[in-house]
Structure 1
Amino acid sequence: MALTVKQIEGAKPKEKPYKISDGAGLYLYIAPTGTRSWRANYQQDGKQKTRTYGRYPAMTLAQARMAHAETKVSGNASASGSVPTFEAVAKAWLRVKLPSLSNSKHQLQVANTLERFVYPFIGSTPIDQIKRPQLVEIVVKAQEGGRVETAHRVAGRITAVFDYAQDMGTIEHHGASGLARVLQARKVKKPMASISPEDTGQLLSLIDDYDEPVTRLGLQLLALTFVRVGELRGMRWDELREDGAVWVIPAERMKLRLPHVVPLSRQARAVIEQLRLLSGEGDLVLDSPVRRGHPVSENTFLFALYRLGYRGRMTAHGFRSLASTVLNERSGFERDVIERQLAHRETDAVRAAYNRAQYLSQRRDLMQWWADWLDQQRAGHQRASA
């Protein structure tokens, strides 16, 4: 019988590792540590080997089934004496990779990178016959004309395809690692404009006097929660938990495609209650005053900051930079707690899986400390201006 997501979520670790079958040879392996990974056994040279596709939940049930199906196809090709071409493996990798990307534009960019810069040179070559000098030539050529960032993306995607082929058992090893070493260094991205901590009180006081109430309250909530603008714009009343003390942003609105928990300070809850009076019976917390039933526009907060005199000095995203600076330099909270609340990418996959649900108690304290700090800055500016 095929697995269901409910069964997977209910698979708890035991003293010894065990597996639950999905059928067609695919199974979920549950380690005593709680790690869950998609695996399948196969025969090679008369010996049984195990292939690991990826870990759950980073690889979903649907993605695991697709990867397993693709591997069976390429495995049959290998058994008949032909190794799949780079393009065939890359397209199998794309079918697994693309659904996990944030939007259709990003998906198209990933696929087009391979179509434009890689397939014309090695697309029709069996993947086990491609040598490192060929790959170096491809990424260096991609860099021509100053396309440094593009070349780095090409290098990363080539490596990912070869890693996938190795994980699937198509090749034993490859020479595609570290291709970016031959490229020029990437340009450091210029950070979004953000005020200094010392200027926070003045900005908050100006926001408090902003004439349009939904925008005013939205900016206050953005400062208090330091989430990304798109995450806040789509905020719904049914995303509030624990009598309004916690906001759970669903995965589809998060940059990393993982749900994010935002503990709400007393001040944030007070702002939300004011917004409740304005939203009426709508589903959205920040219901547009211009188009009812739609969220405020993408540039609402940025243009409001412009009108307050902060063009080039502060952006809506700048509240995240401000919070990161202050929390890391002044709050005394551990960096992991701060990074988890900022919903930044964790470079270590195991660490990310472990930390995702951690630090919630500390994060409640952090968010209240931050809201109190903002109040202190506002009050300090008002005293100085009196």
Structure 2
Amino acid sequence: MALTVRQVDAAKPKDKPYKLGDSGGLYLYVAPTGLKSWRANYQQAGRQRTRTYGRYPDMSLAQARAVHSVAKGGETVAAVPTFRAVAGQWLAAKLPSLSNHKHKIQVQSTLERFAYPAIGDIPIDQIKRTALAAIVQAAQEGGRIETAHRVAGRITAVFDYAQDLGIIEHHGASGLVRVLQPRKVRRPMVSIPPEETGRLMVLIDDYDEPVTRLGLQLLALTFVRVGELRGMRWDELREDGAVWVVPAERMKLRLPHVVPLSRQARAVIEQLRLLSGDGDLVMESPVRRGHPLSENTFLFALYRLGYRGRMTAHGFRSLASTVLNERSGFDRDVIERQLAHRETDAVRAAYNRAQYLDQRRQLMQWWADRLDQQREAHRRATG
């Protein structure tokens, strides 16, 4: 008798593990810890073995049945399924774990565009490595090196999935990236060492163009990405100017970002209000009204101050990260959340977005006070 979703949901842990059977040999394994997983037994070389397809509820009952059908070569699937069939089951298991809708579309479209036309309808155990190499090499034509590496990684993942299910014993998709040009290595953000912070802040204070000067000061105080600051609007300020909420569309991870504003940051913003408070933008260009400062304004200002090759606008993030992690005493999770970095644990990420706000207010004030201390220390030292 086939299981129902209600029965699966209602299955409670017992002192010993137990099974709830579904049709076709599929069963739900319920551990004493409460963990539920989809499994099936099969024979290989005269011995009974067990396949584990995935955990519930990450893998639904319907998905488990579909994967099991592929694994055992059911009536609706060829004895050895095609690459497209296995990829479809891999996607069914993979996509629910991806929280970013755009990423889901990219993963699926990569296979549809590059892999399916060439090997989609070939049984997966008959696909030669030479065919796979040709696919990924074609994908990198026109300089699409990063795309080709993604194609290789996703094709390999499908073959690994087929191997894990016992559909194939081995495959030739491993190490496909060896036939590709290497990925471009991203250089770290150029940033001055922390002990030079005071001198830079003093030079910024003396910069002649007021909007650029105030923008650099605010960039140092908030250590957000340049695009996030350039697009800053007056209506994004909350709590009487004590908090700035960057909307999701301007964030790298497409999630809103909360920036508690220190006393110093709020003072800078009030000076900007005198210059551009009549418009919508906080960082309004003095040359093109209604437009933000140009993308390279801050970088060229740092060049003028003598920091070409030694400091970039993005370097303020690196500088803040270094000092906060090494010298502030704040918890790493608090620092990472304020830097708007991705959490590796999706559950923890969702939880932390609503957490740490009080600690982050303290962190931002600590950082602003430290910039002031470094600035004053440099002025005293240089007399």
Relative to the length of structure 2, the TM-score reads 0.67
Give, as a single letter, the amino acid of the residue that structure 1 aligns with 2:314: H
Give, as a single letter, the amino acid of the residue that structure 1 aligns with 2:234: W
The alpha carbon displacement at 1:81 in A equals 5.2
Partner of 1:115: 113
Higher deviation after alignment, 342-351 or 43-52: 43-52
Higher deviation after alignment, 79-88 or 150-159: 79-88
1:229 correspondence with 2:226? yes
5+ residue gaps, structure 1:
1-24, 30-42, 57-67, 166-170
RMSD of aligned residue pairs (Cα, Å) = 4.9
Partner of 1:373: 370
- In 2, the alpha carbon distance for the partners of 1:369 and 1:176 equals 55
Q: Deviations over 1:34-56 (max 9, x none)?
A: xxxxxxxxx9759899999x999
Higher deviation after alignment, 312-321 or 138-147: 138-147
- In 2, the alpha carbon distance for the partners of 1:340 and 1:233 equals 21
- In 1, the alpha carbon distance for the partners of 2:57 and 2:275 equals 44
The alpha carbon displacement at 1:230 in A equals 0.7
1:190 correspondence with 2:172? no
- In 1, the alpha carbon distance for the partners of 2:135 and 2:248 equals 34
1:125 correspondence with 2:126? no
- Cα contact 2:230–2:293 (8 A) shared by 1: yes
Aligned residue runs from structure 1 range 332-347, under 5 A:
332-347=329-344
Higher deviation after alignment, 312-321 or 78-87: 78-87
2:153 aligned to 156, 174, 187, which one? 156
Secondary structure of the residue aligned to 2:200 is helix
Partner of 1:218: 215
Secondary structure of the residue aligned to 2:348 is helix
- Cα contact 1:152–1:180 (8 A) shared by 2: no
- Cα contact 2:136–2:151 (8 A) shared by 1: no
User: Structure 1 pair 380/109, CA: closer, same or farther in 2 (3 Å)?
Assistant: farther
Partner of 2:285: 288
- Cα contact 2:241–2:266 (8 A) shared by 1: yes
Secondary structure of the residue aligned to 2:282 is coil
2:235 aligned to 232, 238, 254, which one? 238
User: Structure 1 pair 44/212, CA: closer, same or farther in 2 (3 Å)?
Assistant: farther
Relative to the length of structure 1, the TM-score reads 0.67
The alignment-based identity, stated in percent, is 66
Q: Which has the larger radius of gyration?
A: 2
Number of matched residues? 329
Secondary structure of the residue aligned to 2:259 is strand
Secondary structure of the residue aligned to 1:210 is coil
The alpha carbon displacement at 1:190 in A equals 1.5
User: Structure 1 pair 314/243, CA: closer, same or farther in 2 (3 Å)?
Assistant: same
- In 2, the alpha carbon distance for the partners of 1:242 and 1:157 equals 45
User: Structure 1 pair 130/192, CA: closer, same or farther in 2 (3 Å)?
Assistant: farther
Secondary structure of the residue aligned to 1:247 is strand
Give, as a single letter, the amino acid of the residue that structure 2 aligns with 1:100: H
- In 2, the alpha carbon distance for the partners of 1:177 and 1:345 equals 33
- Cα contact 1:136–1:179 (8 A) shared by 2: no
The alpha carbon displacement at 1:119 in A equals 4.0
- In 2, the alpha carbon distance for the partners of 1:88 and 1:323 equals 46
Q: Deviations over 1:338-376 (max 9, x none)?
A: 111111111222222222222111111111111011111
Give, as a single letter, the amino acid of the residue that structure 1 aligns with 2:320: A
Secondary structure of the residue aligned to 2:258 is strand
Secondary structure of the residue aligned to 2:323 is helix
Partner of 2:84: 86
5+ residue gaps, structure 2:
10-21, 29-37, 39-52
- In 2, the alpha carbon distance for the partners of 1:312 and 1:228 equals 19
Partner of 2:254: 257
- In 2, the alpha carbon distance for the partners of 1:110 and 1:307 equals 47
The alpha carbon displacement at 1:278 in A equals 1.2
